[in-house]
Structure 1
């Protein structure tokens, strides 16, 4: 393998420790104009701290690969695939509209790209994670929701979502079927700490577990004074 080590966010870096099982994680961050100000500043701070938390376990730093994409009217790269230990500090800005279908299509394409690298190198992998954070309505997601459902059933991806502020619950319901979705307890608080702590703990636990083993993570919404709650999509849709 011709490993590349360039300090370039748009340059993919090859996997490390290729004899270990790898876990690819792609963050899909809503950077539309409605995220401007406090939301985007706090999101930037939290995702950079997330890298430090995950890498407290040096084993995980080499087996979790991360890609960070942003989206507004279209998806774009913030940081290309790399071992999370090589993740650079992220800088975010907010502008434009929201197109969730294009964003998820772009994320799936990037995930396929990374899993093809694993296949070429004979690297075993765990089920890839796509983690989307969004605060708004992103158009008709019916078709892409069907794609997510199929890929999830085939264990090709696990799709997580964090609903921010006035996010569209109908869109969220289609994308998640009520599974693996959380929302901020305070619509105006924009405190992402508990969500990223939960993601960090989950990723560290899953990535180092024995193949096929059952893992347990405490429900983050049960933490005292949690900034997270479960999204009650059924109640909202049937109100």
Structure 2
């Protein structure tokens, strides 16, 4: 079930004479997400904003929307310039409506894209950031979401950042991530420290949103190395779920 009652209402983009980039963050708040995990997520959402707003150009160009999902999908921060993003104290409970969360995220990205078109704003490729510790326990599968993600990613209309933590389901991750090489980000060893992932995502958004058109962007990060608690995991044999 999707609940379209945002805690914080939509705000229009600023600096319409500049390119813009939308970022949708979908946070698993189901009952299996531990207290330590959700506390760290709350802190990192605030840190994500801070990193991007370090650059005054990115602060004008980046728009963000945050949704949570358990039994329902909730838009808890509708679209706004990143500097207007509120802090959160998310809590957890219930099942995991991952399929509808991804579908809702894409729907919201499309809404912001239409608004850019209406205002004559040039759009940079949007990011959909999804983080979960499980699989869909409401719909039972993510087939509809996976098909739409594949269509959007292969069509060059979106980039997916998928982070699995805890006992997340690799088969589910594989379905959602097949369009970009069948891998995902994973927090190692049951850790709930998401700092490296959010730092990498935020610095990537900051770099992409402020780059020259067509410029190839690289971002220094420890993610994927032995120095980080976040790895980049191949999912091609995900049915083994090991």
What TM-score, normalized by structure 1, do the two folds share? 0.91
- In structure 2, relative to structure 1, the CA distance for the partners of 1:222 and 1:161 (3 Å cut) is closer
SS at match of 1:131: strand
What SS does the aligned partner of 1:25 have?
A: strand
Gaps of 5+ in 1: 1-7
The equivalent residue for 1:21 is: 19
Change (3 A) 1:32 1:222: closer
SS of equivalent to 1:33: coil
CA 1:9–1:61 in structure 2 vs 1: closer, same or farther (change >3 Å)?
Answer: farther
Distance 2:171 2:237 in 1: 11
Q: Which residue of 1 aligns with 2:216?
A: 214
* Alpha-carbon contact 1:64-1:207 (below 8 Å) kept: yes
Q: How does 1:158-237 map to 2 (within 5 A)?
A: 158-177=159-178, 178-179=181-182, 181-187=184-190, 189-222=191-224, 225-237=227-239
SS of structure 2 residue aligned to 1:13: coil
CA 1:106–1:236 in 2, change beyond 3 Å: closer, same or farther?
closer
User: d(CA) in 2 for partners of 1:18 and 1:223?
Assistant: 39
* Alpha-carbon distance in 2 for matches of 1:208, 1:190: 30
Where does residue 98 of structure 1 map in the other structure?
96
Aligned to 2:3: none
**Alignment partner, residue 8 of structure 2:** 10
Indicate the RMSD between aligned Cα atoms, in angstroms.
Answer: 1.7
Note the alpha carbon deviations across 1:195-229, whole angstroms, 9 max, x for none: 00101110111111111111112353355631111
The structural deviation recorded for 1:169 is: 0.1
List alignment gaps of at least 5 residues for structure 2. Answer: 1-5
Displaced runs of 4+ in structure 1, greater than 3 A? 235-239
**Residue 124 of structure 2: SS of its match in structure 1?**
coil
Corresponding residue number in structure 1 for 2:117: 119
Paired residues in the alignment total 231
* Structural mapping, 1:74-93, within 5 Å: 74-93=72-91
Whether the 8 Å contact between 2:183 and 2:236 is mirrored in structure 1 is no
Secondary structure in structure 2 of the residue aligned to 1:61? helix
SS at match of 1:144: helix
- Partner of 2:145 in structure 1? 144
> Matched residues in 2 for 1:137 and 1:224: separation?
27
Q: 1:129 aligns with which of 105, 127, 130?
A: 127
Give me the whole-angstrom Cα distance separating, in 1, the residues matched to 2:238 and 2:115: 42
- Tell whether the 8 Å contact from 2:38 to 2:92 is kept in structure 1 after alignment: yes
**Residue equivalent to 2:42:** 44
CA contact (8 A) 1:184 1:190 kept: yes
